[in-house]
Amino acid sequence: MKRLLKICSLLLVMCLALCGCGSKTPNGGKDDDNSGANNGGTPPVNTVTPQIYPEVTGMTHDYKITETDGFIVKDGASEYRILVPEGKADDKFLSAASSDLKQLFSEATGIMLPVVEDNVDLSGGKFLAIGDTKLASNESLGADEKTLGKGGVRIKTVGNSVCMTGATTEAAMYAAYVFLEQALNFEQFYTDFYSLDKDVTELKLMNYDVTDIPDFEYRIQSAGFIRWNDANMRRMRWTNNEALFIPADEQGATWHNTFVYLPPDTYREEHPDWYSSPWRKNEKSNQLCYTAHGNEAEREKMIEIIADRIKELFSMDKYKGYDWISVSIEDNQNCCTCEACAAEKAKYGVDSAVMVKFLNEVSKRVGEWMETPEGAPYKRENYRIFFFAYHATNAAPARYDEETGKYVPIDESVICDDHVVTYFAETNGDYTQNFHDAGTANTDIGKNMLGWAALSKEIYFWSYSTNFSHFLTPYNSFDTVQDILKFSKNAGSKYVMIQDQWIQQSGQTGFGIYKNWLHSKLLWDVNADVNALTDKFFDAYFGKASATMRKLFDEWRVWARYQTEELGYNGYRSVYYNALDAKLWPQRMLSGWLDLTEQAKADIAEYKDTEPELYGAITDHIAMESLSFRYLLISLYSSQYSSDALVAMQKQFASDVERIGMNLVNSVKQDTIADLIKSWGI
């Protein structure tokens, strides 16, 4: 079957590359000598059907919803009120939830529901209740952290009221959005763009009995249009990460912070053994030595200083609600090669064993302190000390046991303490491939994740989904993202951050808006139907241009698979691949895709007079996707266009980027789009 799909894809690829979707070269351009001479051909269908990791079992997404005889809205009127717990009106999550419920309910029905606290008379009332209210407490609804975790939601009809809650106020907020999705078809897709039923004059009261627990308890956003937009973050149910990690420097050092704890400028001269060989005696020292070059007294001093700093941070009032801190390697691919570290590597086969042993000792000191009178006021049952399994420390000190078919620790000393957690991150991987097929750049990475699962009770997963060298080109992680997330869930991941274009403001080309919305859905329900989600997104986000833009998306996906399998766009560190290469992007094909975006604009022409606001939004959505193809044509084929045609293309590109709000060409050098446009001299 896989071979047949590949043959079908190759035939379609030949049509795409040679025929360019029946396009003509636009704007007075010249034919590309490498792209063929024939027009026409059979439009491709979506034949990209990746091999999917088996469904993850044991998840809780339990929706029991039946009709009652009652109504929330009847004949355009409602007796309902929004109810929140007394004294919690200023809670940022409950406040956001009640505000959005009030606003969106009004947009759908024309009715502005009042918001009241639960110190009013509740008997016989009709409420849409959010949080742990006196109407129906969390305890009575079974909304405790043991049952739901920190993010699970509970929605229950109690009498004539609907109660929406969770173990935390953040989860209660999620419950409000789940209710809106079920009752009024609300869905946030992009900034100020969402679906919602309108002109609702009748809304049945349903008998809700919903328990929905996200498959990944923590889902951290990493796209600029989400990261810098609170409405997008909360409405897409991304975890708010403001109160998760304590920065080692009390500012921003949540990652790559070992030199914050033990700064070389402070300690290197007196304690050279704390720093990696061969750099430990000069300014190029770039990692710690976790064995202190075999000097136990020096190693003990390192542990003591780091543990004392963690105790100090845990004692601060401003970090009262924080449970997590990291002690993570500097951002390079080196490890110490001293005699003591080399001996440990020979014993365990990896560089990470010394780090695990070291942090187990740090955690032991912190835990002991929490049991003392001094530390007891700051005790945290669930404190976590994170370390990066990243670059040179990605490989786990574990081995595969042929007899059991599982990974096991090399020995007990490298099993992570209950409070020491692996943060698995691998930029050296290839996120166009899954983690379980043999023979890819990810084969060993997948094995390493399973190895860490044998050593750490939890895995926190830092994944990737864009080309950091070329933000303005598409990166095909679509084929594999669900597969990788299923793999990581089965390996024990409870936290995922998929790093995307986190510093790209407002917009993102290359179907990045859809990609990150899809991530939000899969992190909540890793077994979700991706085809159904794709239909839902395209129908809402592109309106009457949905079919045309879906055709463009599907054609690019077919070509992207060809890029991966035949043109070398894969392998080690594919997220830094030089994608600005003409062999990857035939001119005629790019021009054909631009023709489809022009067709998409024609598809929505009727909105211009009937729904001008919708017309403007979808016009921008289409323009945003065309930016990547226009950028490639300008960058790779400028000589193929007349001077006037090229300037016109460049000016339109600049105008659209400014309107949509994008700022960067890449994250490696953080080259700006403004400088790119300036270099064109327009």
Please report which confidence band the pLDDT of residue 243 belongs to, taking 50, 70 and 90 as the band edges: confident
Please report which confidence band the pLDDT of residue 241 belongs to, taking 50, 70 and 90 as the band edges: confident
> Which range has the worst mean pLDDT, 34-43, 409-418, 667-676?
34-43
Q: What is the 3-state secondary structure (H, E, C) of 92-142?
A: HHHHHHHHHHHHHHHHHHCCCCCEEECCCCCCCCCEEEECCCCCCCHHHHC
Domains annotated for the chain, with CATH where assigned, are 2-54+544-680 (no CATH), 61-213 (3.30.379.10), 245-538 (no CATH)
Arithmetic mean of pLDDT, 550-569:
97
Arithmetic mean of pLDDT, 409-420:
97
* pLDDT at site 22: 40
* pLDDT at site 28: 37
Is the pLDDT reported for residue 43 higher than 70?
A: no
Question: What is the number of residues in the chain?
Answer: 682
Is the pLDDT reported for residue 32 higher than 60?
A: no
Please report which confidence band the pLDDT of residue 282 belongs to, taking 50, 70 and 90 as the band edges: low
Rg of the chain (C-alpha set): 27
* pLDDT at site 437: 85
| Alpha carbon distance 26, 305 (integer Å) | 65
* pLDDT at site 381: 94
- If residue 651 lies in a helix (H) or strand (E), which one and from where to where? helix 643-660
* pLDDT at site 281: 53
The pair of structure tokens assigned to 580 is 């600005």
Between 438 and 64, residue with greater pLDDT? 64
Average pLDDT score, the chain? 92
| Alpha carbon distance 548, 577 (integer Å) | 29
Residue 137 has phi, psi (to 5 degrees) of -70, 160
* pLDDT at site 33: 33
Is the pLDDT reported for residue 580 higher than 60?
A: yes
Is the pLDDT reported for residue 21 higher than 90?
A: no
* pLDDT at site 37: 29
Summarised one tens digit per residue, pLDDT across range 56-107 is: 999 999 999 999 999 999 999 999 999 999 999 889 999 999 999 999 999 9
* pLDDT at site 285: 59
Residue % of the chain over a pLDDT of 90: 87
Arithmetic mean of pLDDT, 393-410:
96
Is the pLDDT reported for residue 302 higher than 60?
A: yes
* pLDDT at site 3: 45
